[in-house]
């Protein structure tokens, strides 16, 4: 499988029209570096910094109200009818219990915790409903925020932007699970002399009152970033690498070999089944286009100033197969996967 995700037709033209009213000009620059410029008011502009450049470049986002492409998912969508299947869920939970998540988690207080500071140590606990919020651009204009915030426990992935996108992705954050690459980008960003280029300090503030789960290999970076930003939060990590055992667990659930390294999204979903009775997924869509070739942004928010920029590449992950895995769990009634606008429900 190539580095670029194979799913719906790939974006190869220099101009992709999202609708008659809003269009986006995507220009490939250097080795996957992507510049996205607006053609009409209300669209999104993302200019990725060039390697070796000290010039501050514009990096602007657009709220959900400013960009609402009408996406069509066709056969890519999960089944429109859904009913929770307690027996199927129990079968999956019996398998994911082998992850021993709560037993393997170690706690670290990061930042300045004083006796005078009123801080209630967060706990994962057990929850009736959980929302797992992915970061795909498919969330733009979805108006799923209220449904996400209505769940008992809200889990996010990779330290996303929330402010300005609450209508689509909600306001609450109880837990964030971050991959190693994001932590390393955050660490590098925290050392920028030009502080206006560091986008992670405000993002990380969303964790205060909740907790962050990170891989054991990047704990030093997380601690140093928290000290730089003068933030305090609970950091959790497993006693070994965060992906340990997840590939085998996923294969057992899928009843077939799940190839590739498990993504943070897959790890998060598997973990959630151990402490959430009903999991609801939002913002998971790994493809560059919808079923009729409308462009779907990689993330619903702008990127950072770290080179190389993030875009639709899979690396060692098989994101399309994971997406099918999630849709299968949806079909079996194990969890509910939502793709598209919530306002129509």
HSE of 185 in the Cβ direction (CA atoms, 13 Å)? 21
Count CB-CB contacts under 10 A for residue 123. 11
Q: Three-state DSSP class for 128? A: strand
For the question of whether the overall pTM of this predicted structure is more than 0.75, the answer is yes
- At 234 the pLDDT is 87
Enumerate residue ranges in the chain where pLDDT < 50. 1-67, 116, 345
- At 325 the pLDDT is 96
- At 48 the pLDDT is 35
- At 61 the pLDDT is 36
What structural domains and CATH numbers belong to the chain?
Answer: 68-338 (3.90.1480.20)
What does the block give as tokens for 309?
A: 């920029």
- At 120 the pLDDT is 59
Q: Three-state DSSP class for 224? A: helix
- At 343 the pLDDT is 72
- At 220 the pLDDT is 93
Q: Three-state DSSP class for 323? A: helix
Instruction: Report CA 308 to chain centroid distance, whole Å.
Output: 18
- At 206 the pLDDT is 79
- At 211 the pLDDT is 87
HSE of 322 in the Cβ direction (CA atoms, 13 Å)? 25
Instruction: Report CA 320 to chain centroid distance, whole Å.
Output: 15
List, in sequence order, every residue forming a beta bridge with 34; answer none if it has no partner. Answer: 28
- With tokens 């999104």, the residue in question is 44
Query: How big is the chain by its Cα radius of gyration, in Å?
Result: 20
């Amino acid at each position: 499988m190539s580095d670029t995700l194979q799913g719906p037709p790939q974006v190869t033209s220099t101009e992709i029209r999202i609708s008659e009213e809003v269009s986006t000009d995507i220009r490939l620059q250097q080795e996957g570096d992507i510049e996205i410029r607006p053609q009409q008011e209300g669209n999104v502009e993302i200019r990725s910094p060039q390697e070796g450049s000290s010039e501050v470049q514009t990096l602007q986002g657009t709220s959900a109200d400013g960009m609402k492409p009408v996406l069509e998912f066709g056969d890519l969508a999960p089944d429109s009818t859904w009913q929770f299947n307690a027996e199927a869920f129990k079968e999956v939970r019996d398998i994911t219990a082998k992850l021993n998540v709560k037993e393997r988690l170690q706690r670290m207080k990061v930042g300045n915790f004083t006796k005078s500071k009123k801080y209630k140590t967060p706990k994962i606990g057990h929850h009736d409903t959980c929302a797992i919020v992915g970061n795909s651009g498919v969330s733009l204009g979805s108006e799923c925020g209220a449904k996400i915030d209505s769940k008992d426990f809200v889990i996010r992935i990779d330290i996303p932007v929330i402010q300005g996108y609450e209508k689509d992705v909600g306001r609450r954050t109880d837990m964030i699970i971050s991959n190693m690459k994001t932590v390393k980008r955050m660490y590098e960003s925290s050392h920028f002399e030009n502080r206006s280029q560091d986008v992670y300090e405000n993002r990380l503030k969303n964790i205060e009152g909740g907790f962050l789960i990170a891989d054991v290999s990047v704990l030093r970076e997380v601690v140093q970033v928290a000290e730089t930003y003068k933030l305090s939060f609970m950091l959790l990590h497993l006693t070994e690498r965060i992906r340990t055992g997840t590939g085998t667990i996923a294969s057992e659930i899928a009843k077939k070999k799940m190839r590739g390294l498990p993504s943070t999204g897959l790890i998060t979903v598997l973990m959630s089944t151990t402490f959430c009775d009903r999991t609801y997924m939002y913002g998971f869509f790994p493809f560059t286009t919808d079923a009729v070739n409308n462009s779907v942004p990689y993330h619903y928010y702008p990127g950072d100033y770290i080179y190389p920029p993030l875009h639709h590449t899979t690396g060692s992950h098989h994101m399309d197969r994971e997406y099918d895995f999630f849709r299968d769990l949806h079909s079996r009634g194990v969890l509910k996967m939502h793709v598209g606008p919530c306002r129509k429900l």
